[in-house]
Structure 1
């Protein structure tokens, strides 16, 4: 199990999160300049590690964006141009974190893309894939099976434990690029639903 962050690291994580919320296109280079402007002696490698803890990557692609586990299979993105017109056509999952007084917990949720209904969710104090698998299995048990299940390329979702559940149910797996996606806007109440969705 990874060591808990110290007081300075918690402060840095909070500052990175706040600046990323203001400028979600910022990558590690700009975040480093921002923190140095506040007086922190920090290098880009450490910024990248801290952004990785938070699951953050600049929206614009670049050479230092996060990558999936090199031994995990990555599946193609299946949703480009697809009209999402009914429930259980496409489900998706994402991870974000919740800041506590002395640390973080991680939140994973599964949603139906058509209705934006949260089908299941789990909290964890680690980024182990187990709580993501539990969340997926709960959604499948309660709501049946989707035609397509979309994730990012995070190692929790490319793991055999996670993809194996989908393959056993013969659900088509779709993966897009890494980085915080819909979950933050969803929990902030800004993920308004429409009746038909065309994926890009």
Structure 2
């Protein structure tokens, strides 16, 4: 059972994700480590067909290797004009070990090739490519008792024709939020945690942990 003072291993080496998770969990008194802080984790191949599949694969492998409770996420961008791509391949859309810049560039190339347009627009909005959504699936796995909890969150938006904002990571600079009239990369960490797919999933997970 995870209680105050417990340590959870976050199955990521992404510093942006680690920062978001630590801020969200700090009020529970839980110590959060990531894969930069532990050794002995085997290479994890994300072979699942869904975000939920991949989240659990990562959580179980890391938990079995360390004996720690592991929180893993699999998240990505689903673009309607691309039939849901990049989806579970979001992190490696431009190839294995692709950078955020390379993934964003490929996404824009694919959309420009289609000539995709937003389903709706307004004079106050920048030019948009297509409606899209971020999806996040979280899996918390405790190896001591085999307990597993999985939750999911989504946020709807559009893909910008040009990146905006210097914060965030991944596809954030290309993801436009009409309700904020800003890109995801133009939000503060606090704003992003409220609206984001990961923030929604985390709140659901925390409610279950607190209950």
More strand by share: 2
Same fold (TM over 0.5): no
Report which structure shows greater RCO (CA 8 Å, sep ≥6): 1
TM-score for the superposition, normalised by structure 2: 0.28
TM-score for the superposition, normalised by structure 1: 0.29
More helix by share: 2
